[in-house]
Structure 1
């Protein structure tokens, strides 16, 4: 009987080891694929540099300077170094559980323990589910309807954010036409929702913490803090001196808020106190007109889309302009709305009138149209990228379309 127990335990341990090996191998394969794409990108940079050096164009040289200032290449390199170190330190440990060599049918001979593997899992978070592929063709994963019982009119989706609460993906949206905030999630394999009525028409929603969001309004001097459990619970109301439409969290205690009258971007603490205000860029140039959609970058800077100037701005918290994206023609923006960033630092912008989502490099260079009306996209408004999925809120469609954009592993 003891020999039979030993064989069973050996088989169990081998199965556990195979499962762990396959998991780590899958992560490594995805990382290798990501590295190959990075190498292609670096090769393109080198070719571009050679062309600029030959031409002597000061404009192109300044573009290169902006790309370096954005830190896109350095961040990618740092990410690779961190991962390599994590893999090198990965170990599988067998922990013995034999007590004084007494074997019987209930004995536990040992277990497989992951120590550094767990650390690696935490460090590479987004890599586990794939890295954003610049050349991917987004596939429609699902369509989430946001119309719920009690709605007085057709929902208009403005702001979108995504949280994971108790292991469940929770979509949180502002519904301007029904003057409420909604959360949509799955529990016990059933689709559920929560609805929080608000005092005025909400505009933007941003994630403050693991289970907390902040909401701004169209024409109301207030920002509200809401707990997501995943049901919605009003936590606090903060009266502000200005009416803020655009809103993004720079940290759990700091917000960047866009005001249209007067046009500016303010840095606030969660009590509503203005710590800094930015209204002009680069010595009175490029006046901000309509900062109604904001997004924080991994560096703590601010991206904003401006429908009046038909531009995208990348600014620091101090008000310095890293770049401005303003073009006409096919690559231009007719009415930019929602803006978000990917796991690789690329920028996605919803163009409401052109029925498309465009992709920019981290340095603000046009890459391509990621989504268009040919794929069924109509009047994109809110935008959120999370875990290699792109959430697009269609203005009057009463739904959020979820697209997958990743490298298969």
Structure 2
């Protein structure tokens, strides 16, 4: 959840940074244009100064000659320059950055990164009568065998509640979920009857297939995808996950619970006795509890 919040915030930051780059690029382009105009104006001014200096020298020479004709010609030349149609092109007078702080503040106040919802459940009262909330039909079309669900779990994948079951007789694992207000399902066929399953991560399951000496790793998207297979030395039935994602599995022969690594090696085997008798006989199902 923390990662989702940070990701949503980063997306907003990225969009703001993109707008910042756009404004800076525009300012840079305008600045180059403005500087170009200023340089052209300086060069034009320097040329004008030289021209007026030359005219001043010519006027002085004409006045010193004491010739009325030279003075008259000089006057006409100056008048022609003064009457010339010098149309000044449009130019940048100033560059400013305007910002509506009130509008920006309102936009930030209205910014919706998301909401955190807290679901409260009432404390279980063993005296209460259970009430049926919903029923899921786990029969899939074109199945020839009768339905024989063995184990079930629930995952939340991409904000979608997903129910996953093992179907022994149809040698498959199935997922059921509601998307776009439509009930949908996915079916992953196994090469042997699956028995027990457990959550390894938020969207990955481990499924025991005892007859094939296998543990199958399945990804839930919420459709099911086969990710890998672990070959084991025993026919494991029950399975649970110990942190961090370490399988603990039950065996009938011999009756025990083994802790495995993700390659199938036994890290530890547990087979407790009580007065000489094995406590574990048929560990078909297991679960882990925090200490």
- Is TM (by shorter chain) over 0.5? yes
Select the structure that is richer in helix: 2
2:89 matched to which residue of 1?
A: none
* Residues in 1 aligned to 2:255 and 2:160: alpha-carbon distance in whole angstroms: 38
Q: CA deviation at 1:210?
A: 1.1
Contact 2:201–2:245 (8 Å) recurs in 1: no
2:212 matches 1:220: yes
Q: CA deviation at 1:252?
A: 4.3
* Residues in 2 aligned to 1:111 and 1:130: alpha-carbon distance in whole angstroms: 32
Equivalent in 120, 133, 136 of residue 144 of structure 1: 136
1:240 matched to which residue of 2?
A: 232
Q: CA deviation at 1:167?
A: 0.6
1:263 matched to which residue of 2?
A: 255
1:133 matched to which residue of 2?
A: 124
Structure 1: 5+ residue runs without aligned partners? Answer: 1-98, 300-409
* Residues in 2 aligned to 1:175 and 1:156: alpha-carbon distance in whole angstroms: 5
Equivalent in 221, 231, 239 of residue 229 of structure 1: 221
Q: CA deviation at 1:292?
A: 0.7
Q: CA deviation at 1:214?
A: 0.6
1:3-402 matched pairs, under 5 angstroms: 102-103=101-102, 108=106, 110-111=108-109, 128-135=119-126, 136-281=128-273, 284-299=276-291
* Residues in 2 aligned to 1:171 and 1:265: alpha-carbon distance in whole angstroms: 26
Select the structure that is richer in strand: 1
RMSD across aligned positions (CA): 2.7
Question: Alignment partner of 2:272: what SS?
Answer: coil
Count of aligned positions: 192
* Larger radius of gyration between Structure 1 and Structure 2: 2
Q: Deviations 1:159-218 (Å, cap 9, x if unpaired)?
A: 111111111000110000101010111111100111111010110011111111010024
* Residues in 2 aligned to 1:252 and 1:155: alpha-carbon distance in whole angstroms: 34
1:36 matched to which residue of 2?
A: none
TM-score by length of 1: 0.43
Q: CA deviation at 1:109?
A: 6.1
* Residues in 1 aligned to 2:194 and 2:101: alpha-carbon distance in whole angstroms: 67
Q: CA deviation at 1:151?
A: 1.0
* Residues in 2 aligned to 1:220 and 1:129: alpha-carbon distance in whole angstroms: 43
Q: Which runs of 4+ in 1 moved over 3 A?
A: 99-104, 112-115, 281-286
Q: CA deviation at 1:101?
A: 6.3
Contact 1:194–1:232 (8 Å) recurs in 2: yes
Structure 2: 5+ residue runs without aligned partners? Answer: 1-97
Question: Alignment partner of 2:217: what SS?
Answer: strand
